[in-house]
Amino acid sequence: MSEIVRLAARGDGVSADGRFVPGAVPGDRVAPDGSIVPGPGRVRPPCRHFGICGGCQLQHASEPVLAEFTAARILEPLRRLGIAPREVRPVHLSPPFSRRRASLRAVRREGRVLLGFNAEGTHQLVDLGMCPVLAPELFALFAPLRALLADIMPPRAVVGVTMATTDGGVDLLLSNLAAEALPVVEALTRFAEAQGLARLSVEGPFGIETVVAPKTPSVTLGGVPVTLPPGAFLQATADGEAALVAAVLEGAAGARRVADLFCGVGTFALPLLRGARVLAADASGPAVAALARAAQAAGRPVETQHRDLFRRPLAAAELRGLEAVVIDPPRSGAAAQTAEIAAARVPVVMAVSCNPATFARDAERLVAAGYGLETLWPVAQFRWSTHVELAARFCLR
């Protein structure tokens, strides 16, 4: 028998002789006929949709296996570039039922509305009857939402469903759905009131429109309430967000002038304002405006820029004089902005990333410019998924 020694990036087991074995985890053994003999790293998946739903790939892996996988996903691309962190912190793994933001699809099929995630590697929708990942208040909306959409969805339509928990209740955005006819508007309004939503918005051909907002859809960041624009980015779990914020605050401690690039609504900028002057920049105008309003109301003014940092990154001359930069780009990374940071020789760079491959590329640029990767914080807030996140502290040597 061949033993499974690690997990590949997409969650398949890899045997000692280099074979990829779907459904296997480290410690399992593979018999000559291809069957899997369970090892100590295997657990019973908690969801009946596991193996079909594409939302989770690793429910059959124990917590030690999940932690090892998360760290390896981040460290392996760095190792291939000859980069080794001086310190790697323990992996932070978010608990079940903690996902506060989710994007799903709803389709109408034979008089029924199906709501859920796509099946792994396909566009086929899995109609969820349970979900041990989502926060209970989000999953509680599934049944009433199916009933609502059954009445207002056009035949053969596909509706995007984005939901997030906020301090005021669930913020719900329905995409590819027109809310022009009075009966539809009335049905949406009744639904929002009956379910205690903070806000219900629709996105149609003319953009996003708020139908009803009985409560304020706000989140508290660094002790400051921020009213979210419809569809605004929010870290997937409050638990994971807290881990990333703690890492950023520790890594940037003592810096009095800080830039927060790709700042969104202020996940890092607002906590940083407690001890520093902050310049916050992002391509999302509504997010930057929400951050500025919240900071002003809290008596913590922040300098903001509505700026596409891919097309027009902050130049080295604009960054000089800063004591730290926090950068949290999308999955594509931030090659151009990282080059300007390196040229400015900002003493401390706190990088937050959701893509180990593009993070490694940006890290290579910083290391080549004389930075050292001092501390790495692996974060697995998408529990049971191959998607991992991290924070990292680079210091100019």
- In sequence order, what DSSP letters do the residues of 149-178 get, joined into one string? HHHHPPTT-EEEEEEEEETTEEEEEEES--
* 211 and 153 within one domain: yes
Whether residues 277 and 130 fall in one domain:
no
- Last residue of some domain: 218, 251, 269? 218
Residue 52 lies in a domain: no
Q: In whole angstroms, what is the distance from residue 278 CA to residue 92 CA?
A: 27
For residue 199, the domain's CATH number is: 2.40.50.1070
Residue 116 lies in a domain: yes
Q: Domain for residue 28, yes or no?
A: yes
Say yes or no: 83 and 26 in one domain: no
Amino acid at site 188 = L
Q: Which residues of the chain have pLDDT under 50?
A: none
User: What are the helix and strand counts (H, E) for the chain?
Assistant: 10, 22
335-344 vs 356-368: helix crossing angle, rounded to 10: 30
**190, 218, 246 - which closes a domain:** 218
Shared-domain flag, residues 178 and 297: no
Number of structural domains, the chain? 3
Tokens of 124: 């086929």
Q: Would you call 31 exposed, middle or buried from its count of C-beta atoms within 10 A (0-12, 13-18, 19+)?
A: exposed
- Residue that is last in its domain, among 177, 194, 218: 218
186 Cβ partners below 8 Å, 6+ apart?
A: none
Does the residue 263 lie in any domain? yes
Q: Determine the pLDDT at residue 259.
A: 98
CB 29 within 8 A of CB 35: no
- The closest of 372, 391, 385, 378 to 85, measured between CA atoms, is 372
Query: What is residue 254's predicted lDDT score, i.e. its pLDDT?
Result: 96
Distance set, CA 53 to CA 104, 121, 135, 390 (Å): 12, 10, 17, 25
What's the pLDDT at 170? 98
Q: What is the pTM of this model?
A: 0.95
Residues 241 and 385 in one domain: yes
Q: DSSP string of 30-52?
A: E-TTS-EE--TTB---S-TTTTT
Range of the domain at 317: 71-95+234-396
Dihedral sign (CA 10, 11, 12, 17): positive
Would you state the pLDDT for residue 32? Answer: 87
Amino acid 154: pLDDT: 84
At 78 the pLDDT is 98
pLDDT of amino acid 350: 98
pLDDT of amino acid 390? 98
**What is the set of active-site residues?**
354
Residue 61, domain member (yes or no): no
pLDDT at 289: 97
- What integer pLDDT is reported at residue 181 of this predicted model? 87
Please report the pLDDT score of residue 43 as a whole number: 97
Distance between CA atoms of 151 and 174, rounded to whole angstroms? 14
266 vs 294: CA distance, rounded Å: 9
Q: Measured between alpha carbons, how far is 145 from 147 in angstroms, rounded to an integer?
A: 5
Predicted pLDDT of residue 180: 83
Give the CB-side neighbour count of residue 216, counting CA atoms within 13 A.
Answer: 9
